[in-house]
């Protein structure tokens, strides 16, 4: 049985998403654009039907689009996250949806053999040639991100699975175009759209915003009646002191929240944390049954792995084109098929799993 730590290892590779330049209402976007809000972008030949809330049946609102291809695969790969705007549904995992879409890197004739496909695989290295999360070079990086911190195609990862089956890929390549693109039965509300830029969390090491973290913890003390001085001293103390702190009688939820605040103080503007097969950063103690709550992939039956999470700073950035529309959450953790399965006759996105943790106090991140 898998286990989940409340604090990811320091050496764990984590990529941070930051809000960037705005996208105009009438500005056309591609499906490989990483963005907040707007409408999801669906490439032909797939059909993406706008999802509804499993609790109240209302149309969901598009929250983020994440372009995250896997290294060594013929497929582009996109994840779209949707949420319900009804207050009664906030914090309910069943009121969120994650759809995974995959698109062929290149189309070749069915008669081409496996050696040709291997050339296609090696012809383009995602890590070297793709733009930052699909963004255009004309987009200015977020003010806190230095040019040398931006990683080309930062969301490219290498799953520890066998090489793709050449026969299946051949079948996929030869499929005739089909699909209707984005299907919206009604006119759902839309969040103002912004590009997402990316930095490596390690690039922020040594630049911890202690003052900001302390302010947040002081606010937490006033609201929750906890000893912030003890939390802060424990969080930045030597290893021996940390062990002593871990054995203290401080409430578990306060300890987890402190670890959360300490980690994000490296870059408190982060709206997304990406770490394929990594460990999520919990804002409150996760249920002990969480490993059992994450279901197997509904398409192929494989296990799911943690891929990324949305952070509380995103909430205040979700400005609706139609006033009065909002979504609140603590953190939204996305788990996807460890094999990133995609059948040769796939004509619509695959639904993945998302787990929501409510925020102890959303006002901290406004």
Which of 137-141, 251-255, 347-351 shows the lowest mean pLDDT across its residues? 137-141
Q: Tokens for 351?
A: 């639904």
More confident position, 168 or 288: 288
Query: Over 70: is that where the pLDDT of 210 sits?
Result: no
Sign of CA dihedral 323, 324, 325, 327: positive
Query: Over 50: is that where the pLDDT of 24 sits?
Result: yes
Counting beta carbons within 10 angstroms of the beta carbon of residue 130, is it exposed (0 to 12), middle (13 to 18) or buried (19 or more)? buried
The closest alpha carbon to 27, from 104, 139, 141, 188, belongs to 139
Q: Tokens for 206?
A: 């040594």
Ramachandran region of residue 340, left (φ > 0), alpha (ψ -120 to 50) or beta?
A: left
Query: Over 80: is that where the pLDDT of 18 sits?
Result: yes
- Distance in angstroms (rounded) separating the CA atoms of residues 38 and 187: 12
Which sequence spans correspond to the domains of the chain? Answer: 15-197+271-365
SS3 345: coil
Instruction: Provide the pLDDT confidence category of residue 291 given band limits of 50, 70 and 90.
Output: confident
More confident position, 104 or 211: 104
Query: 47 has which bridge partners?
Result: 181
Contact 332, 66 (CB under 8 A): no
Query: Over 90: is that where the pLDDT of 348 sits?
Result: yes
Instruction: Provide the pLDDT confidence category of residue 274 given band limits of 50, 70 and 90.
Output: very high
Rounded mean pLDDT of the chain?
74
Query: Over 70: is that where the pLDDT of 255 sits?
Result: yes
Instruction: Provide the pLDDT confidence category of residue 110 given band limits of 50, 70 and 90.
Output: very low
Angle at 165 between CA 159 and CA 168, to 5 degrees: 120
With b for 16 or more beta-carbon neighbours within 10 A and e for fewer, the 312-341 pattern comes to: bbbbebbebeeeeebbbbbbbbbbbbbbbb
Which of 34-38, 115-119, 156-160, 306-310 shows the lowest mean pLDDT across its residues? 115-119
């Amino acid at each position: 049985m898998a286990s989940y730590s409340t604090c990811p290892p320091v050496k764990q590779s984590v990529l941070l998403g930051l809000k960037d330049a705005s996208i105009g209402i009438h500005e056309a976007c591609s499906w490989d654009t990483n963005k907040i809000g707007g409408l999801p972008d669906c490439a032909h030949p797939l059909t993406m039907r706008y999802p509804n809330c499993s609790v109240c049946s209302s149309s969901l609102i598009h929250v983020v689009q994440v372009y995250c291809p896997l290294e060594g695969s013929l497929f582009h790969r996109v994840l779209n996250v949707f949420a319900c705007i009804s207050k009664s549904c906030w914090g309910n995992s069943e009121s969120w949806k994650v759809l995974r879409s995959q698109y062929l890197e290149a189309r070749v004739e069915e008669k081409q053999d496996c050696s040709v496909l291997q050339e296609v695989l090696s012809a383009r290295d995602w890590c070297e040639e793709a733009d930052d999360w699909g963004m255009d070079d004309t987009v200015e990086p977020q003010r806190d991100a230095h040019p040398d911190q931006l990683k080309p195609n930062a969301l490219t990862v290498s799953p520890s699975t066998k090489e793709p089956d050449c026969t299946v890929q051949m079948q996929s390549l030869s499929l005739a175009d089909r699909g209707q693109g984005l299907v919206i039965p009604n006119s759902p509300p839309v969040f103002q759209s912004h590009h997402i830029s990316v930095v490596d969390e390690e690039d922020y090491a040594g630049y911890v915003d202690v003052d900001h973290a302390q302010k947040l913890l002081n606010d937490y003390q006033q609201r929750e009646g906890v000893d912030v001085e003890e939390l802060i001293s424990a969080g930045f103390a030597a290893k021996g002191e940390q062990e002593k702190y871990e054995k203290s009688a401080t409430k578990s939820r306060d300890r987890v929240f402190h670890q959360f605040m300490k980690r994000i103080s490296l870059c408190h503007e982060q709206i997304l944390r990406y770490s394929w097969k990594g460990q999520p950063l919990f804002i409150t103690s996760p249920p002990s049954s969480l490993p059992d709550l994450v279901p197997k992939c509904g398409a192929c039956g494989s296990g799911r792995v943690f891929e990324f999470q949305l952070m509380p700073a995103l909430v205040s950035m979700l400005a609706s084109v139609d006033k009065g529309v909002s979504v609140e959450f603590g953190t939204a953790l996305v788990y996807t098929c460890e094999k990133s399965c995609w059948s040769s006759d796939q004509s619509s996105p695959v639904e993945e799993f998302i787990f929501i943790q409510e925020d102890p106090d959303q006002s901290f991140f406004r």
